[in-house]
Chain A
Amino acid sequence: MAEYKLTEEEQEAAFQQRIDDEQKIEPKDWMPEAYRKNLIRQISQHAHSEVIGEQPEGNWITRSPSLRRKAVLLAKVQDEAGHGLYLYSAAESLGISRAEMIEALQTGKAKYASIFNYPSQTWGDVGAIGWLVDGAAIVNQVSLQRTSYGPYSRAMIKICKEESFHQRQGYQIMIELAKGTPAQKQMAQDSLNRFYWPALMMFGPHDSESAHSAKSMKWKIKRETNDDLRQKFIDQTVPQIEFLGLEHPDKAIKWNEERGHYDSGELNWDEFYKVINGNGHCNRQRIQHHIKAHEEGAWVRDAQLAYNAKQKAKKAADAA
């Protein structure tokens, strides 16, 4: 076969054409270095979020109000670990190792969803997290099922299928609290008040402020903008709050007939940047806990290596 070498520009044009034609990019395809980097950043942060997200909920496993609730919460946290694995594997297909990603998380080079830097103080928070935090994540992830990178897209499809139970179990906790005693209803209201705004912040800064948005949209890594996704979540949440009979935390929420959407109040962006930059309630605790678990698990990794070495030696001896 005669080899005709394409120039960088030609390769990039062919790459963009493929994306414009709604075709997926697969691991062995040529891709611009910036596309690869951008994806590694986004997918690894997504993976870290799944894993760090186990902490606020894990906090309540031993204190669940019933055995049934405990089994449900365990199953959910187990799913989050699984979702982290799907995503780490998708990122690995771009040529970064698991160890490098973990290192970036633990040294603060890589971020994760800042929502997980808020503490889970009550059982109501477990309900609000499932309902609002997983709910917001699903809005984002449904959109990402159409992302241009094949392995990421396929991971999102699998995750979305599994995630629906997360939101529903959370909402069911909220229903039971909201229909319960006045104290229980108050607990539900309090959790809603504390988690509503941070859940909206999960969609990131306004499009005009977002550092990665334009390139990500051109490459179809992201399919909808932060503000559009946020609006979707705001709209779908209004009837859910109404059904619970709780007060909406946003006093400015108002149906806008002309736009066909709800108008809403402005977010506290100072808080957003404070938490992103490491100064939320639990930033240090989350990373410290991750490092501790990682270090305490070192003996398992050592044992695996020792076992592999022994098996190899045994096979070599048998062959001799």
Chain B
Amino acid sequence: MILENLELFEVFVRSKRGLDHKHVGSLHAEDHEQALEYARDVYTRRSEGVSLWVVKSRDICASQEDDSDCFFDPSDDKPYRHATYYPLPKEVGNM
């Protein structure tokens, strides 16, 4: 078996009901069904999860790390989007 012929899948685990699925790593598998079983064996051997997602890596469209400065800079100069930008008098409690 030539490993490179298999698809690369990204694996996401939900550790507890109500929480988000979190990326934990990737693996090679023939198809989605096999990827799910492999993911169970590789990433949840100690009951780390209650739910698994597998996604073909090539189906993930990602922003470019190298471009992240200019990609995300629209929010760099907007401190007023943060609550801490507005000082609160202590008399009025939390907001």
Contacts and interface: CB of A to CB of B under 8 A. Distances in A.
B83 A243 contact: no
A23 B93 contact: no
Contact of B17 (A23, A171, A175): A23
A135 B81 CA distance: 16
A239 B83 CA distance: 20
A165 B78 contact: no
Nearest to A164: B83
B20 A168 contact: no
Interface stretch (B27-35, B38-46, B84-92): B84-92
Interface string A13-26: 00000000001101
Given A164-B95, A171-B95, A239-B92, A24 B83 contact: no
Given A24-B17, A24-B18, A171-B86, A75 B81 contact: yes
A132 to B, nearest CB: 11
Listed residue (A26, A150, A168, A239) with the most chain B CB atoms within 10 angstroms of its CB: A168
Contacts of A242: 91
A68 B85 CA distance: 12
Nearest to A135: B95
Interface residues of B, number: 17
Contacts of A97: none
B82 interface: yes
Instruction: Label chain A's interface by main secondary structure.
Output: helix
Contacts of B57: none
A26 B83 contact: no
Contacts of A236: 93
Nearest to A23: B17
A71 interface: yes
Contacts of B51: 26
Given A171-B92, A239-B92, A165 B83 contact: yes
Nearest to B14: A26
Given A168-B86, A168-B95, A150 B80 contact: no
A279 interface: no
A175 B95 CA distance: 14
Contacts of B92: 171, 239-240, 243
A168 B88 contact: yes
A154 interface: yes
Listed residue (B20, B80, B85, B89) with the most chain A CB atoms within 10 angstroms of its CB: B80
B41 to A, nearest CB: 18
A188 to B, nearest CB: 15
B60 to A, nearest CB: 18
A71 B85 CA distance: 13
Interface string A65-87: 00010011001000100000000
B17 A154 contact: no
Interface string B61-95: 00000000000000000101111011011011101
20 contacts: A24-B17, A68-B80, A71-B78, A72-B80, A75-B80, A75-B81, A150-B17, A150-B18, A153-B18, A165-B80, A165-B83, A168-B85, A168-B95, A169-B80, A171-B88, A175-B89, A239-B92, A240-B92, A240-B93, A242-B91
Interface of B: 17-18, 20, 51, 78, 80-83, 85-86, 88-89, 91-93, 95
Interface of A: 23-24, 26, 68, 71-72, 75, 79, 135, 150, 153-154, 164-165, 167-169, 171-172, 175, 236, 239-240, 242-243
Given A164-B95, A168-B86, 7 more contacts: A24-B17, A26-B17, A71-B78, A165-B85, A167-B95, A168-B85, A243-B92
In the A-B complex, list the 6 residue pairs whose CB atoms are closest, starting with the nearest: A24-B18, A168-B86, A164-B83, A165-B83, A24-B17, A240-B92
